[in-house]
Amino acid sequence: MFGQKHRLWQKAAIVLAATAGVAALGSSSASAQAVPFPGSQVPLSALLPGGADAGGIIIGDKVFTDFSYVGSPDASTSTNPAPSAGDISVAPKPGLGPNSEGLTFSASWNSTNGHNQDSIISYAVHTLSGLPLIHSMGLDFNGAAMGSNAGAGVTESVYQATFNPSTGHYVQGTALNGSPISVFNDGTGSPIDVSQTSLTFSSNQAAVFVRKDISDFSPTNGTGISSISQVDNSFTKVPEPAALGLLALGTLGVLARRRKA
């Protein structure tokens, strides 16, 4: 049963991603300048076209830009609409190791008695240097589900990102090997729950484009519930060539001192 639901999540992701892509392209204009991450968190609405930080945010040596969002069902069609962009907070992901930066998306996604929710969040991330150094990414969440036929999950498609100089924006390119990746919880006692996963790229990337489908579903008979309150992404790069050169020189120096000793 969960396998069927999981495939439905992926189909929904394709439809909503296409809608989100059209909306994002329709509102494209010359890109504003990215800024260091302002404060501890910002609403996702601030990162969308027309928002206060629409030019993107900088964390460490990575720039996160070109955000888009679609939530379905919306307030006009459901008694349990997906969170609005203003209700989703975005913050730097804490506790990452060297050369890694990421984002945490927090909101209240939930489903009970058949009132399902689905959200698509898309964005691009590139290195400040413009060098192809991003070699892997991680996906994690805290989704929970109880009862049969209820589920919570995130399916994430990852692509190369290409900069369009005429619009000043990054656009989706070729899907990367190993994409999509997903995390999910499909109810009490399930042997196939996945709470975190990672994707190592076959070649280093200067920029990647991410589309995440956040989904909660439950049966209509009131016997199951599901919820998600946090979704995390992390991106890790190899050290830049200059840093590798300095590391090599330092290693040679240590070896030389040992020989003299």
Range of the domain at 146: 2-260
Kindly indicate the confidence band of residue 130, based on its pLDDT and cuts at 50, 70 and 90. Answer: very high
Confidence (pLDDT) at 191: 63
- State the burial class of residue 233 (Cβ atoms within 10 Å of its Cβ: 0-12, 13-18, 19+): buried
Confidence (pLDDT) at 254: 41
Q: pLDDT higher for 88 or 15?
A: 88
Got the DSSP string for 79-125?
Answer: SSPPPPGGG-EEEEPSS--TTEEEEEEEEEEEEETT--EEEEEEEEE
Q: Strand 57-59 relative to strand 35-36: parallel, antiparallel, unpaired?
A: parallel
Confidence (pLDDT) at 241: 67
pLDDT tens digits, one per residue of 230-252: 999 999 999 866 544 434 444 44
Q: How many domains does the chain have?
A: 1
Give the span between the Cα atoms of 82 and 107, in whole angstroms: 10
pLDDT tens digits, one per residue of 52-66: 999 999 999 999 999
Q: Is the predicted pLDDT of residue 145 greater than 50, yes or no? A: yes
Q: Is the predicted pLDDT of residue 155 greater than 80, yes or no? A: yes
Q: Is the pTM of this model over 0.85?
A: no
pLDDT tens digits, one per residue of 168-225: 999 999 999 999 999 999 887 556 789 899 999 999 999 999 999 999 999 998 889 9
Confidence (pLDDT) at 222: 84
